[in-house]
Each structure stands twice: as structure tokens, then as C-alpha cells.
């Protein structure tokens, strides 16, 4: 079975990829299409990829035998939901404590829709007896909501908390509340996850109506998705650098998209929601609440104090790319002095690849031999210094024990806008690793 999976990589998967490059594959690295799909659309996670594209990959692999999927950077659960739809066993690993909760709640779509709706009604009803208390919310929350919206949201939050139990309905209602925040906020939010309090939306929704609308739409999705329900996916809060909790030789197909080395701060991406749910009081809490668990892919993550750079650059994990990463590290250390922000990209790049080397070692442990690994990935050029992410990633995969790699480009990046910060052409695509 697993031998069969190795062969078709070139003959089936790769031609398949090139044949769909023009349309469906172009959107494989974006979440936009998922906003039309039941359950996927419950939370807009801009960093996600397309579920339909995941299904295409799984269906191709399925033709040749049993497939067991792993997504070590599961995010909002796209790969897991796509696998469930196809009845394919799948495990996901996600380290972001808030994002993993979103994915877990989405995977509860098999809950009885009427029981869920009744729970949402109970939550709304119990708001009537509650006194709103908005003073305790941080400035960001006050910047994003009018006082009346915030009072209404606060009553919903308190009511959810009061009724909270271990039921699946309770977890789904948590997601309902979290999902409406950006619709209710008058601050600009989309398409990027960050919040823009100075940009105002024309007509944000009123909280109770937004909550009811979201509940109706989630219940409808539950009924649709339940028709093809297969409880075969599971997500754990763990670290892709160890894949702790995933058995050895588990998967023969990995479909994932790791954080890119492009300074996107996944911790900051859920700051609005976490502040509202009073899990953090602001940006300053993100390091201890979230960032510390994640791949070091943003400059805020790394400082001279928390990184022993000599140790990292001398580590055996970076051996396969040592001379080239040291060169880039020095270029970035010099370049930063020419820029106002003096960002720690030099530390970020070293730590990012050190972390990713560990991911490849962990993947070797949890993957069968042979297996196929598909990484949706992009290269990067912080401060205009080109980082050959794809090549380095391939070399680290091989050093971890995989046989070979190949890159199939999806699209060019950084070629469109005149005001871009640097003019190094970048791209995004699939790194296919097998062996």
C-alpha cells in the first residue's frame, strides 16, 4: 500500500498539479474559497488554504491505496474537515491555543443542530438578567466596538460563561460568539487578520442579530455536513517540532502549510478575539500566551536575550544549510542597521530554520516509509535579502531522512505593487517531498 503511494508522485500527483495550475490550484494557498463551504466558513482564518484543493490531493492519493493524513500545522482545521468529508483518517497538530480551539469546535459539526440552537437561545435569554461591565476591556476592544455593541457583546460573553459546560453545544456557542466579533466591530479587519481601528466599516452588525444569524448559518451547515459525516479526524494541541501525541509511522500523506518566514505574527492574528474573551489584556501578553509555542517566524518572537544565536548556527540541525544560512544571517545583521525598525530578521531566519529542521525530523518519525509530504510554502526576502526557503526546506527534509523533493510553483508574489518594500520576485507553491 505505502509503496504504491511513492510511485505515483510524479506520474499522477505532479501532472495533476500542473494540469490544475491555472485555476483551482491558483487558489490552493488561500482560504477565500472556503468561505463558501459549510463548516469551513465558520471562522475566517486568512492564513488557511483551500479545502477543495486538499480534497483533490487526497483523492489522487486514494486511487493507489489506503491513505492516512497528517497536518502538523492544522490551523483552523481545513485538512481535517476535508479528510472527514472523504472518510480519510486524519490527525492534526496545532500549537496556537486559541486557533486549536477554533478547529476543535469546527470538528463538532456533528452535534445535533436543534440542541445547539436551543443552547444559543438559552444564552441569549440569560443575557437579559445580566449587567454589562465594559470597563475591564482593554483599549483595543474599546477602539473596535461602540459602547452599546460592547455592552451587548459583554452580556453574551458573560452568559456563555455562566452556562458553559463540557457539552459540544457549549464549545460551538463559544465559536459562534468568537466568530461574530469582526462582523460586529466597526473597525477595519478584512482581509488581513490584523485590526485597523482607524478604518471604519459603514454598517457593522448589531451583536444579538449577528449571533442569531451566525447560529442559524452554523446549524444549517451542521445539517449539510452531517449528511457526509465521518468521524475520522482528530486534532491535538501539540508542537509540530516534536509531533508529540502522534504515533510513529502513522501517516503516509502529509498536507500542510507551515508559517512562512515572512514576519506574519500568528499570535497577533487572534489578539482581538483573545482580548475580548479576556484571555489576554493586550499585545504584551501575546509572547507568553501564544508566541512561545509557535515556530519563530516573526521578528517580534526573537531577541538577543531569548536566542543563543551561536548555539543555533552551530547546531547539527542546521548542518545541511550551514554555510548559506550563516551568509544570509550576516547580510541581515548588517542590513538591519540601514532600516529604522532594526528588525531582528537575522535572528528570525536562523531560528525559523532551526525550528523547521526539527519539524522535518519529527515528520520522519511520524511518517511511514515511503510517504508523500506536501508543504504549501513561499520564499521570502526580509529587508530585500533573498532567503532560498524552498531549497533550504528541501535540504532539511532530505537530511531528516526523506528521499527527494520537488517544487511546483503556484504563483508569483511581490511582483504586483509599485510601492512594495523591495523588488525581489518571490513565489509560492508546493514543496513535494517523498520517501
Ligand X SMILES: C[S@@+](CC[C@H](N)C(=O)[O-])C[C@H]1O[C@@H](n2cnc3c(N)ncnc32)[C@H](O)[C@@H]1O
In this structure, what is the dihedral angle of CA atoms 87, 90, 96, 99, given to the nearest 10 degrees? 0
* Binding flag, residue 239, ligand X (CB under 6 A): yes
**Which residue, 93 or 385, is less far from ligand X as judged by CB?**
93
Provide CB contacts within 8 A for 246, sequence distance 6+. Answer: 70, 91, 93, 236, 238, 366
Beta strand 90-94 with 69-71 is parallel
**Which residue, 119 or 407, is less far from ligand X as judged by CB?**
407
* Binding flag, residue 204, ligand X (CB under 6 A): no
Q: Where does this chain touch ligand X (CB under 6 A) — which range of 40-48, 82-90, 327-335, 366-374?
A: 40-48
Q: How far is the CB of 302 from ligand X (least distance, A)?
A: 14
**Which residue, 45 or 407, is less far from ligand X as judged by CB?**
45
* Binding flag, residue 47, ligand X (CB under 6 A): yes
Q: Among residues 45, 91, 116, 137, which is the contact residue for ligand X, using CB under 6 A?
A: 45
* Binding flag, residue 76, ligand X (CB under 6 A): yes
Neighbouring CB atoms inside 10 A of 255's CB total 26
Q: Among residues 241, 271, 336, 343, which is the contact residue for ligand X, using CB under 6 A?
A: 241
**Which residue, 13 or 99, is less far from ligand X as judged by CB?**
99
Q: Among residues 37, 99, 123, 180, which is the contact residue for ligand X, using CB under 6 A?
A: 99
Q: Among residues 78, 83, 111, 189, which is the contact residue for ligand X, using CB under 6 A?
A: 78
Q: How far is the CB of 114 from ligand X (least distance, A)?
A: 28
* Binding flag, residue 329, ligand X (CB under 6 A): no
CB 369 within 8 A of CB 250: no
**Which residue, 57 or 99, is less far from ligand X as judged by CB?**
99
- For ligand X (CB under 6 A), the number of binding residues is 22
**Which residue, 111 or 237, is less far from ligand X as judged by CB?**
237
Q: How far is the CB of 112 from ligand X (least distance, A)?
A: 26
Q: Where does this chain touch ligand X (CB under 6 A) — which range of 90-98, 181-189, 340-348, 397-405?
A: 90-98
Footprint of ligand X on residues 110-129 (CB under 6 A)? none
Q: How far is the CB of 294 from ligand X (least distance, A)?
A: 4
* Binding flag, residue 429, ligand X (CB under 6 A): no
Footprint of ligand X on residues 263-322 (CB under 6 A)? 266, 294-295
**Which residue, 29 or 331, is less far from ligand X as judged by CB?**
29
**Which residue, 157 or 358, is less far from ligand X as judged by CB?**
358
Query: SS3 string of the chain?
Result: CHHHHHCHHHHHHHHHHHHCCCCHHHHCCCCHHHHHCCCHHHCCCCCCCCHHHHHHHHHHHHCCCCCCEEECCCCCCHHHHHHHHHCCCEEEEECCHHHHHHHHHHCCCCCCHHHHHHHHHHHHHHHCCCCCCCCCCCHHHHHHCCHHHHHHHHHHHHHHHHHCCCCHHHHHHHHHHHHHHHHHCCEECCCCCCCEEEEECCCCCCHHHHHHHHHHHHHHHHHHHHCCCCCCEEEEECCCCCCCCCCCCCEEEEEECCCCCCCCCHHHHCHHHHHHCCCCCCHHHHHHHCHHHCCCCCHHHCCCCCCCHHHHHCCHHHHHHHHHHHHHHHHHHHHHHHCCCCCCHHHHHHHHHHHHHHHHHHHHHHEEEEEEEEEEEECECHHHCCECHHHHHHHHHHHCCCCEEEEEEEEEECCCCCCCCCCCCEEEEEEEEEC
Q: Where does this chain touch ligand X (CB under 6 A) — which range of 68-76, 108-116, 151-159, 199-207?
A: 68-76
Q: How far is the CB of 432 from ligand X (least distance, A)?
A: 16
Q: Where does this chain touch ligand X (CB under 6 A) — which range of 93-101, 183-191, 214-222, 414-422?
A: 93-101
* Binding flag, residue 92, ligand X (CB under 6 A): no
Q: Among residues 120, 176, 257, 380, which is the contact residue for ligand X, using CB under 6 A?
A: 257
> Which residues of this protein are in contact with ligand X, per CB under 6 A?
45, 47-49, 73, 75-76, 78, 93-96, 99, 239-241, 257-259, 266, 294-295
Amino acid at each position: 500500500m505505502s509503496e504504491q503511494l511513492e510511485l505515483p508522485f510524479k506520474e499522477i500527483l505532479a501532472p495533476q498539479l500542473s494540469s490544475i495550475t491555472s485555476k483551482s490550484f491558483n487558489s490552493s494557498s488561500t482560504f477565500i474559497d472556503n468561505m463558501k463551504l459549510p463548516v469551513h466558513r465558520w471562522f475566517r482564518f486568512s492564513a488557511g488554504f483551500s479545502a477543495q484543493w486538499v480534497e483533490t490531493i487526497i483523492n489522487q492519493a486514494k486511487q493507489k491505496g489506503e491513505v492516512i493524513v497528517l497536518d502538523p500545522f492544522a490551523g483552523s482545521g481545513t485538512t481535517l474537515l476535508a479528510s472527514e468529508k472523504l472518510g480519510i483518517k486524519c490527525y492534526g497538530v496545532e500549537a496556537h491555543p486559541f486557533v486549536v480551539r477554533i478547529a476543535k469546535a469546527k470538528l463538532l459539526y456533528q452535534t445535533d443542530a436543534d440542541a445547539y440552537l436551543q443552547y444559543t437561545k438559552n444564552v441569549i435569554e440569560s443575557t437579559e438578567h445580566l449587567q454589562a461591565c465594559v470597563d475591564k476591556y482593554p483599549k483595543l476592544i474599546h477602539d473596535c466596538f461602540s459602547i452599546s455593541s460592547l455592552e451587548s457583546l459583554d452580556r453574551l460573553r458573560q452568559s456563555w460563561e455562566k452556562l458553559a459546560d463540557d457539552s459540544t453545544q457549549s464549545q460551538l456557542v463559544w465559536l459562534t460568539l468568537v466568530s461574530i466579533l469582526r462582523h460586529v466591530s466597526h473597525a477595519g479587519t478584512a482581509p488581513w487578520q490584523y485590526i485597523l481601528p482607524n478604518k471604519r466599516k459603514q454598517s457593522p452588525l448589531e451583536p444579538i442579530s449577528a449571533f442569531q444569524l451566525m447560529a442559524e448559518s452554523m446549524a444549517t451547515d451542521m445539517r449539510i455536513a452531517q449528511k457526509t459525516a465521518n468521524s475520522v479526524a482528530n486534532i491535538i494541541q501539540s508542537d509540530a517540532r516534536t509531533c508529540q501525541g502522534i504515533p510513529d509511522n502513522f501517516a503516509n500523506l502529509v498536507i500542510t502549510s507551515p508559517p512562512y518566514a515572512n514576519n506574519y505574527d500568528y499570535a497577533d492574528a487572534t489578539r482581538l478575539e483573545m482580548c475580548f474573551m479576556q484571555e489576554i489584556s493586550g499585545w504584551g501578553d501575546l509572547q507568553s500566551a501564544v508566541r512561545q509555542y509557535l515556530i519563530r517566524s516573526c521578528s517580534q518572537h526573537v531577541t538577543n536575550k531569548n536566542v543563543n544565536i551561536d548555539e543555533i548556527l552551530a547546531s547539527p540541525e542546521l548542518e545541511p544549510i550551514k554555510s548559506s544560512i550563516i551568509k544570509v544571517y550576516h547580510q541581515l545583521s548588517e542590513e538591519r542597521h540601514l532600516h529604522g525598525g532594526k528588525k531582528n530578521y537575522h535572528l528570525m531566519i536562523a531560528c525559523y530554520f532551526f525550528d523547521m529542521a526539527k519539524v522535518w525530523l519529527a515528520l520522519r518519525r511520524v511518517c511511514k516509509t515511503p510517504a508523500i509530504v506536501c508543504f504549501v510554502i513561499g520564499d521570502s526576502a526580509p529587508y530585500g535579502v533573498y532567503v532560498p526557503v524552498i531549497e533550504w526546506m528541501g535540504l532539511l527534509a532530505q537530511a531528516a531522512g526523506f528521499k527527494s523533493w520537488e517544487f511546483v510553483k503556484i504563483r508569483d508574489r511581490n511582483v504586483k505593487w509599485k510601492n512594495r518594500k523591495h523588488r525581489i520576485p518571490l513565489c509560492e507553491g508546493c514543496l513535494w517531498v517523498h520517501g
